[in-house]
Copies of this chain bind each other. A is one copy, B any other.
């Protein structure tokens, strides 16, 4: 009865297939993040999955394809929920600080930094993947933040300037502490108070540099 001939109602097979595919990606992601590209084995993934190798190749025609799928999926999941925090009605400094804190927290999670490492590592082999990832993740965050800063500028809370540049400055300041340490491998996880300190530092510098009508008087020559 009611033959589901439209693609709108996914058949049981299709559902199952999607589930299976997702399961594969999850297992693969763990492996890739943990071991990197070269040291992840298809056999290992298949074993962990419980299925057979043949099935694996039925879903992904090669290791590279699987890797690409993992990265794309992870990149999408990476997208930040920064927008909620960036409330234009709150007062500026606390808003920025909590935004930065939240960003740093996210970006210093073990998964996120492992992903970052992985992408950078394979940047030569999969240049398109880097692009996808960095378009989805940092680029997106920057735009969100730039938009917010633009608002603050028009409200006179900040001096007028290129909001994209301003966002870049704030972001890079935010990530110059724990995050760097993590990527370097010098620390495993930042302490919460370090995150707060990084955020406070970044916002402090940022606000000094972008205070309304603040113009430093040293030897001019700023074009």
**A120 contacts partner chain B, Cβ-Cβ < 8 Å:** yes
Kindly state the separation between the CA atoms of A195 and B209 in the bound complex, as whole angstroms.
21
The answer on a CB contact under 8 Å between B218 and A212 is yes
Q: Are A130 and B173 in contact (CB under 8 A)?
A: no
Judged by a CB distance under 8 angstroms, whether A54 is at the interface is no
Q: Please pick, from B172, B186, B211, B217, the residue contacting A217 in the complex, using a CB distance under 8 A.
A: B211
- When C-beta atoms are compared, the residue in chain B nearest to A217 turns out to be B211
**Residue pair B207, A216 in contact (C-beta under 8 Å):** yes
Chain B residue, CB-CB nearest to A210: B208
**Chain A, range 152-197, C-beta contacts under 8 Å to B:** 157, 165, 168-169, 171-173, 175-177, 180, 183-186
| Given A92-B218, A168-B177, A169-B201, 10 additional A-B pairs, CB 8 A | A38-B38, A117-B120, A120-B183, A131-B184, A172-B180, A204-B222, A207-B218, A211-B216, A214-B216, A214-B218
